[in-house]
C-alpha cells in the first residue's frame, strides 16, 4: 500500500492532466496547479472528456467518473500543495523553468515531501542538485497518453534515497502502472533505444533500400510494433527526434548517435510530420 495519499502536480497540460487522471481513477487525491486559471480549467475539462470516453467504452461508470473528478482540485497557488506527500513537476521541457519551479517548491513544501520530475531528457542528478532535498528527488517519466500507457520509468539520480525510490514505485503500482527502475542517463531506457531506431530508419530510407511504406510495414510485421518508425517520427515530430539525437551526440560524444542527414534536411525544410501536414508522409 502506498503511503502517498495526496499528489501535487505542477502543470495542467497533456502530461499533467494525464497524471492527474491516473491518480484520481486509482483513488489518490490530486492538487493540479498551473500559472493561469484558464490552463487549469482546460486541464480539468480534458480529464472529464477522457473519463467520458472510458464510460462510452464501458471501462468506467458515471459514478466512477464523479468519484475521480471529486478527487481533483485545480489551483493557481503553490500554497495548495502543502497537503501533498509527493509533488510531480510536469511543466514544459525547459531546464531553466524546471529549476525555477523546483526551487520555489523547496521553499513551500515540508522537508519530508518527495519531489519528482516528469522530464524526458534533463538529468535527474542535475535537477536534484538544484534542490535542498536531493535525496528526496526522483524522475517519474510517464508516457503519453498517460491514462492508456502502462509504463513509468522511475529514474534515480545519484543522490536519490532507497526510501524515495520505494515510495514512488509503490505509488506507480497504486496507479495501475508497471514501473521500471532506471539509472540517470540521457534518454533513460525507452527513448535511448527508440530514437536511434527511428534515426536508423531515416538512413535506410535515404539509402533507397525500401519505400517508407515498406520500411514501416517491415517493422510492424517483423517486430510486432503497433506503428512503423517513420510514421512514429511523423507523430512525435521530426524536429523533436532530431533534438534528441543531438543531445545524445553531445552527451555521449559517440558517432553512432549522429543524426541522419535526411532527418536534418527534412527538419530544415519545415517538414516536421503531422503537426505541419507533411513529414515522411503527407497528411
H or E segment and range at residue 36: none
- In the residue annotation, 165 being an active-site residue is answered as no
Joined together, the cell numbers standing for residue 55 give: 464510460
Q: Which residue among the candidates 2, 123, 184, 191 is catalytic per the annotation?
A: 191
Q: Which residue among the candidates 17, 120, 184, 199 is catalytic per the annotation?
A: 120
**Is 168 in contact with 138 (CB distance < 8 Å)?**
yes
**List of E strands, 27-107:** 29-33, 72-75, 86-89
Counting beta carbons within 10 angstroms of the beta carbon of residue 207, is it exposed (0 to 12), middle (13 to 18) or buried (19 or more)? exposed
Cα distances (Å, whole numbers) of residue 210 to 111, 152, 217, 228: 57, 34, 10, 13
Sign of the dihedral through C-alpha 223, 226, 228, 229: negative
Q: Which residue among the candidates 17, 50, 118, 153 is catalytic per the annotation?
A: 153
- In the residue annotation, 199 being an active-site residue is answered as no
H or E segment and range at residue 8: strand 6-10
Distance CA 173, CA 207 (A): 44
Cα distances (Å, whole numbers) of residue 79 to 109, 131, 144, 246: 9, 18, 28, 38
**Is 181 in contact with 191 (CB distance < 8 Å)?**
no
Catalytic residues: 120, 141, 153, 191
Amino acid at each position: 500500500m502506498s503511503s502517498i495519499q495526496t499528489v501535487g502536480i505542477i502543470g495542467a497540460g497533456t502530461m499533467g492532466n494525464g497524471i492527474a487522471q491516473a491518480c484520481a481513477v486509482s483513488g489518490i487525491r490530486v492538487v493540479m496547479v498551473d500559472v493561469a486559471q484558464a490552463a487549469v480549467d482546460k486541464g480539468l475539462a480534458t480529464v472529464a472528456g477522457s473519463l467520458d470516453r472510458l464510460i462510452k467504452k464501458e471501462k468506467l461508470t458515471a459514478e466512477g467518473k464523479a468519484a475521480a473528478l471529486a478527487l481533483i482540485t485545480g489551483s493557481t497557488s503553490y500554497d495548495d500543495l502543502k497537503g501533498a506527500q509527493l509533488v510531480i513537476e510536469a511543466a514544459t521541457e525547459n531546464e531553466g523553468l524546471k529549476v525555477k519551479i523546483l526551487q520555489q517548491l523547496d521553499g513551500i513544501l515540508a522537508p519530508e515531501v518527495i519531489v519528482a520530475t516528469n522530464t524526458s531528457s534533463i538529468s535527474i542528478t542535475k535537477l536534484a542538485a538544484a534542490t535542498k532535498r536531493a535525496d528526496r528527488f526522483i524522475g517519474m517519466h510517464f508516457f503519453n497518453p498517460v491514462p492508456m500507457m502502462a509504463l513509468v520509468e522511475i529514474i534515480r539520480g545519484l543522490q536519490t534515497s532507497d526510501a524515495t525510490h520505494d515510495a514512488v514505485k509503490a505509488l506507480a503500482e497504486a496507479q495501475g502502472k508497471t514501473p521500471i527502475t532506471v539509472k540517470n542517463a540521457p534518454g533513460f531506457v525507452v527513448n535511448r533505444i527508440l530514437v536511434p531506431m527511428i534515426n536508423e530508419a531515416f538512413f535506410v530510407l535515404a539509402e533507397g533500400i525500401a519505400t517508407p511504406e515498406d520500411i514501416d510495414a517491415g517493422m510492424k510485421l517483423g517486430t510486432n510494433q503497433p506503428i512503423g518508425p517513420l510514421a512514429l517520427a511523423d507523430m512525435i515530430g521530426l524536429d523533436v527526434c532530431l533534438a534528441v539525437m543531438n543531445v545524445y551526440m553531445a552527451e555521449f560524444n559517440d558517432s553512432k548517435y549522429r543524426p541522419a542527414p535526411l532527418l536534418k534536411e527534412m527538419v530544415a525544410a519545415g517538414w516536421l510530420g503531422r503537426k505541419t501536414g507533411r513529414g515522411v508522409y503527407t497528411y
